[in-house]
A and B are shown apart, each in its own frame.
Chain A
């Protein structure tokens, strides 16, 4: 009885399952169970606290158009904030010398996203106030 070489063997009984197949399926099953359980756990534990945004000043460096203040937005809430407008203001006493802003597209829950705001005045000479102006629910 000639056996074809391209692998389409007609076996009278069950197909032989290679050990590699068992391993691959085993790993796949383990990953699946892990993902599924974790997602369920996350669903159970996930109390939806609204986004709570704090903007942190990281570094001030000289840039082409003036100065760059590198910032990090930290969301300590569980929910994601979308379209976060961040405003930076250089203050001299109570008067505002310069205002600048940027928008972060997404700040996920319990995460931080970094970015920067440009100013033409030197931030070192003034006091810098950073805050989030608002967000949207995704």
Chain B
């Protein structure tokens, strides 16, 4: 009996360290981006609270999709999500302290703000790594086509959110949206759609179910690529709003900023479907 407990504990510890490693791999660029540190202390607190609220179902959904234990029930997902947050927070604390981005003589508000913002991405990395770096293939699930489709959309949203988070705070994003004309934006949109479409077609080398034979290309384009891009645009808008980048901007400027941010977002969405 004692042995089994030790085994389970050890297995979980391994999972935790994988989660830590994965968190760092995924979120390292964000950890070392100064705009993210600054956003941590000046970002609107209510919007940050909303971001934290969004994080929980996001983590639970990812945990479910990525999970290598298909028998996992709701309780397991909840535990997974919270421990991922804990791992992310710990990583955030360790590295921000090591970089002297937070220190003990800073006001608590600044420290918590910086930590919480970094933990968002770090905890996503932690959840993803438990399934991806474990070397175990996700088991095939049987579920309805609608649920499967919604799951695909969710994964695209998560991927878009993740890459948008990486890039939205930077100065370069704003700069690009100033430098580009409407024609450039149009080109960007077309490239984004094209790349998403191509990625969809190479879906067969992931663990996901393959596209059934004889599926109409147009159908895929509409259902996944175009819908996916809309989702990516919505995620871009949400992130830009969260970081206060839409305040005081005209509708056209906001649209341009969304298109620019949706380029990495769409790559994130497409990649997420391949990886997860």
Contacts and interface: CB of A to CB of B under 8 A. Distances in A.
Interface of A: 7-8, 10-11, 14-22, 24-29, 31-32, 35-36, 38-40, 42-43, 46, 79-80, 106, 108-111, 138
Interface stretch (B42-50, B140-148, B208-216, B230-238): B42-50
Nearest to B37: A106
- Nearest 6 CB-CB pairings of A with B: A28-B86, A43-B45, A28-B82, A24-B83, A25-B79, A18-B8
B184 interface: no
Contacts of A80: 38, 41-42
B45 A28 contact: no
Contact of B89 (A10, A21, A31, A138): A31
Interface of B: 4-5, 8-9, 11-13, 16, 38, 41-42, 44-46, 48-49, 52-53, 56, 68-69, 71-73, 75-76, 78-87, 89, 106-110, 112-113, 115-116, 119, 136
Nearest to A12: B71
Interface of B is mostly: helix
A35 B73 CA distance: 26
Nearest to B46: A43
Given A14-B73, A20-B13, A39 B82 contact: no
A39 B107 contact: no
A8 B69 CA distance: 8
A17 B5 CA distance: 9
Contacts of A29: 82, 85-86
Contact of A24 (B38, B49, B56, B86): B86
A37 to B, nearest CB: 9
Nearest to A24: B83
A49 to B, nearest CB: 14
Given A18-B11, A111-B106, A39 B85 contact: no
B79 A22 contact: yes
A79 B71 CA distance: 49
Most chain A CB neighbours (cut-off 10 Å) among B53, B84, B108, B109: B109
Nearest to A37: B49
16 contacts: A15-B69, A20-B12, A21-B79, A25-B79, A25-B82, A25-B83, A28-B82, A28-B85, A28-B86, A29-B82, A32-B52, A35-B89, A39-B112, A42-B112, A43-B45, A109-B42
Given A16-B4, A27-B86, A28-B85, 5 more contacts: A7-B11, A28-B83, A29-B86, A108-B41, A111-B106
A9 to B, nearest CB: 10
A24 B16 contact: yes
A15 B49 contact: no
Nearest to B136: A8
Nearest to A46: B45
A109 B40 CA distance: 12
Contact of B48 (A26, A32, A39, A106): A39
Contact of A15 (B42, B72, B81, B110): B72
